[in-house]
Amino acid sequence: MELIILCLWMLAILDVSWTRALDRLLVVSFDGFRYDYLNRSLTPNIQNLIRQSTYSERILSVFPSQTFPNHFSIATGRYVEEHGVLANELMDLQTQEIYKFGYKLFHYNETTVPIWTLNELKKEGRHSGCMMWVGCSMAYQGTNGTYSVEFDLSIPWDDRIEKSVSWFTDPVKPANLVMLYFESPDQEGHIYGPDSPETNAQIQRVDKTVQKLLQVLKAKNLSDVNLVVLSDHGMESVTLPRIINLTGVIGDDGKWLGTSPVLQIYPNKGKTDALYERLQEFSKRNGHFDVYKKQDIPEIYHYKNCDRAPPILAVAKPKYGFHDLYSWIDEIKKKHKLTVTNQTEFGVHGYDPQTLSMQPFFIAKGPKFEKGLKLDKPLKVVDLYGIFADVLGLKASPVEPYNRKLLHPVRSPLVAQESTHLTLALVGYTLASLIALTALFTLFILFRRRQEMRNLGYTLVDKDESGI
Ligand SMILES: *[C@@H]1O[C@H](CO)[C@@H](O)[C@H](O)[C@H]1NC(C)=O
Ligand SMILES: *[C@@H]1O[C@H](CO)[C@@H](O)[C@H](O)[C@H]1NC(C)=O
Ligand SMILES: *[C@@H]1O[C@H](CO)[C@@H](O)[C@H](O)[C@H]1NC(C)=O
Ligand SMILES: *[C@@H]1O[C@H](CO)[C@@H](O)[C@H](O)[C@H]1NC(C)=O
Ligand SMILES: *[C@@H]1O[C@H](CO)[C@@H](O)[C@H](O)[C@H]1NC(C)=O
Ligand SMILES: *[C@@H]1O[C@H](CO)[C@@H](O)[C@H](O)[C@H]1NC(C)=O
């Protein structure tokens, strides 16, 4: 009996004296980095990183393959019809209010908990940091992240790296999750097209930035931070003759919003059928875009089951765009002093995510990921939340079992805290209880680890057990 009490007491002591070090994660996004940009012999540092990482050559973005929807799906594990960020701008059908970037756009569904909020809410000394990640600099569930820098393209890339990495080493509130955003090669991809020298220069800049990031992590002794490098969508080229002008077709019967290749169309009262029929007829003649009534938008887009979905949606086929591009082209023509001909290529994204040119990449390195593993099928953007949660030891649902295999079943190091307790306890006992303690401790660790592995869906194999 006495022994049992002693054992229980020891367990209690051990539980307060030893805590797991928090697993750390840095997620980096380079906007609009198409998966096959890595095949242009411009990215030696990223190739080198891939050799040490788990690599998914492609990921399937959510529809529309645009920036706000995808960055928010990466962070929440939800499709747009659930989190409500259907586009970079949209109209609230009840109030007719137009939402652009801002609190309301990102707060359609209050049950949406981005990964940085999930982490912060768990307490346990967890802190999240956001460097310009889309939707990150605002409260969710009434909680802000500990660190945040709002979207500001004037902040130099090197400063973004220094600042966000410094959050991990803060002596008072060290971050265990940091989200870091870079706007290129998306910008140049749009203006000069995906195959331009300007875009290639940005691909090289991204490669050097990855190298710089790894150097900074190493210099700050943060090489054991799990690092995910990814992008949100790809890029496709469009030329002037491939622009479909719907202004005359829509006429005075409705308004449109959004950006090519996806236009949300809001018919005036009583005009839905007439407008849809005109668009449908034009679509048949033109052949380069699809038009849907809300209820007919393909299920596979996970888009229509949302109060924010427009009554009519027009989606251009790859390499085509709509009339919204005219004014944008006029703008960049002036701003960048471009000469535009029928052959001039611009870049557009937002098409069906199954389109190869819309697909970005995923690289994950660190103690929680397999080294040198290339996935044989593309990940989905909505899977990433579960992967991040697993790395951080947070509960999130649902995660497909397939993805769990990416995580290397390692135990995070046990670190001693309040070791004076432990010392006092040991002093009070004879050599015999010391031996008992050791045995107990081993059993305890084994038990905890086994439980942990079971929680993660692993079965321990002999190789791992011999490691203790
Ligand atoms: C790069 O090219 C190689 C050889 O042609 C091919 O096997 C691979 O799938 C390509 N990768 C990408 C990302 O396009
Ligand atoms: C919010 O998300 C939850 C979980 O996906 C879903 O069940 C619910 O229907 C959503 N609410 C709205 C208003 O879409
Ligand atoms: C979150 O931060 C923003 C400014 O960064 C502030 O306006 C807001 O009140 C904060 N919300 C909460 C719940 O702390
Ligand atoms: C780096 O971290 C390791 C453990 O994470 C520690 O043992 C070592 O002392 C640290 N080195 C420096 C220079 O901080
Ligand atoms: C450019 O393309 C349009 C539409 O296809 C055509 O009407 C026009 O003649 C072309 N212009 C030139 C200079 O080729
Ligand atoms: C688009 O169509 C409208 C209406 O037919 C017309 O007024 C406008 O000039 C067209 N725009 C371009 C750039 O062709």
Strands 362-365 and 226-230: antiparallel
Q: Is 323 in the pocket of ligand 6 (CB under 6 A)?
A: yes
Q: pLDDT at residue 267 above 90? A: yes
Find all residues with CB under 8 Å of 233, minimum gap 6, and list them.
32, 61, 65, 66, 67, 70, 349, 350, 353, 358, 359, 360
Q: pLDDT at residue 288 above 70? A: yes
Q: What percent of the chain has pLDDT over 90?
A: 79
Rg (CA), the chain: 26
Q: What is the structure's pLDDT at 439? A: 66
Which residue's CA is the closest to the ligand 1 atom numbered 1?
39
Q: What is the mean pLDDT of residues 59-77?
A: 97
pTM, whole model, 2 decimals?
Answer: 0.85
Q: How far, in Å, is the centroid of ligand 6 from the Cα of 77?
A: 40
Q: How far, in Å, is the centroid of ligand 4 from the Cα of 169?
A: 12
Q: What is the structure's pLDDT at 5? A: 52
Contact 160/180 with Cβ under 8 angstroms? yes
Q: What percent of the chain has pLDDT over 70?
A: 82
CA separation for the pair 194, 183 (Å, rounded): 15
Other C-beta atoms closer than 10 Å to the C-beta of 284 total 9
Which residue's CA is the closest to the ligand 6 atom numbered 4?
248
Q: How far, in Å, is the centroid of ligand 2 from the Cα of 306?
A: 9
Among the bound ligands, the one closest to the CA of 250: 6
Of the residues 67, 76, 112, 117, only one is catalytic, namely 67
Q: How far, in Å, is the centroid of ligand 2 from the Cα of 109?
A: 6
The residue to mutate among 133, 136, 138, having the most atoms of ligand 3 within 8 angstroms of its beta carbon, is 138
DSSP state of 140: B
Among the bound ligands, the one closest to the CA of 248: 6
Q: What is the mean pLDDT of residues 42-50?
A: 98
191-205, 351-365, 399-413 — which is least confidently predicted? 399-413
Q: Which atom of ligand 1 is nearest to the CA of 361?
A: 13
Q: pLDDT at residue 340 above 80? A: yes
Q: Is 328 in the pocket of ligand 6 (CB under 6 A)?
A: no
CA separation for the pair 298, 304 (Å, rounded): 8
Q: How far, in Å, is the centroid of ligand 3 from the Cα of 186?
A: 29
Q: What is the mean pLDDT of residues 125-152?
A: 96
Among the bound ligands, the one closest to the CA of 343: 5
Q: What is the structure's pLDDT at 376? A: 84
Q: What is the structure's pLDDT at 462? A: 26
Query: CA distances (Å), 120 to each of 125, 142, 165, 167, in order?
Result: 8, 11, 18, 14
Residue type, 297: I
Q: pLDDT at residue 454 above 80? A: no
Q: Which comes out higher in pLDDT, residue 443 or 264?
A: 264
**Active-site annotation holds for 111:** no
Contact 458/466 with Cβ under 8 angstroms? no
